[in-house]
Amino acid sequence: EVFGTDIPDAAVFRDRTIRGLAAVVDAHRGGVVGTTAIDALPAPDPTAPLALSAGEEAMLFEYRSDPADTRYNVTRLYRLRGDVDVDRLESALRDVVMAHEPLHTLFDPARTRLGSADAVEFVARGTMSIEEMDAFADVRRRVPFDLDHGPLVRVDHARIADDEVAVLIGMHHITIDAGTFDTFWSQVAARAAGGPLPPLPLSYHDHTRIQAAELAGDRSHH
């Protein structure tokens, strides 16, 4: 709003740093998102692993120093009232995860891309009271993520009333943050309602290439 620029929802999954999003704003204001900026870069090596964004590199360094540290686990607990079709919800959530490469690409040296079954762990936890679900969520958010093997998205759901289902979603901060969760959930809700997924104006791979070129350019001026 401040810059008078509409940024696609998908952009927040590619880079959540101020620097990265500022580059997206500049690109959209200048009309260079897409082929113009990409064509100026050297052709990518199709055999090379998916590159990390600057934000991911910093977060991965933190993770490697202590993989058991759960400070960077990010969770949200949603309460859904009414006739909840859990199968439809699961399908929608998997679709959204597969639409965003950061949510289904491992952080092993090969940057392995996972299929839906391996990227998302979706578990039914039976029936609980809301107090029991809150306690379960507190325990669950203290379970470390394995960024080298996955899954990268953990979903636990339980019926907490005849007409209410609680859904706990957890990811590591390297793939999402508290603000991005709102975008993620809105896309899941839209997909569950039968809507299409938003188009991706720029692939994750191209975004990291453009960012790397910009950072290299900045360094050359110092």
Distance CA 102, CA 196 (A): 20
Distance CA 199, CA 23 (A): 19
Distance CA 94, CA 92 (A): 5
What is residue 18's predicted lDDT score, i.e. its pLDDT? Answer: 44
CATH architecture of the domain 11-43+51-193+203-220 equals: 2-Layer Sandwich (3.30)
Number of helices (H), then strands (E), in the chain: 9, 4
Identify whether the C-beta of residue 193 lies closer than 8 Å to the C-beta of residue 84: no
Angle at 151 between CA 157 and CA 57, to 5 degrees: 125
Distance CA 77, CA 132 (A): 13
SS3 string of 135-174? HHHHHHCCCCCCCCCCCCEEEEEEEEECCEEEEEEEEECC
What ranges do the domains of the chain cover? 11-43+51-193+203-220
Walking along the chain (222 residues) 10 residues at a time, the average pLDDT comes out as: 44 50 48 51 68 89 97 97 97 97 95 97 98 98 98 98 97 92 95 91 66 58 53
Q: Could you tell me the CA-to-CA distances from 48 to 13, 112, 177 in Å, in that order?
A: 21, 11, 27
Contacts 24+ apart (CB under 8 A), 172-176: 172/63, 172/72, 172/73, 172/74, 172/145, 172/147, 173/59, 173/72, 173/73, 173/74, 174/56, 174/59, 174/60, 174/63, 174/72, 174/107, 174/147, 175/13, 175/102, 175/103, 176/13, 176/74, 176/103
What is residue 222's predicted lDDT score, i.e. its pLDDT? Answer: 55
Q: Which residue type sits at 106? A: L
User: For 67, how many CA atoms within 13 A lie in the half-sphere containing its CB?
Assistant: 9
What is residue 5's predicted lDDT score, i.e. its pLDDT? Answer: 42
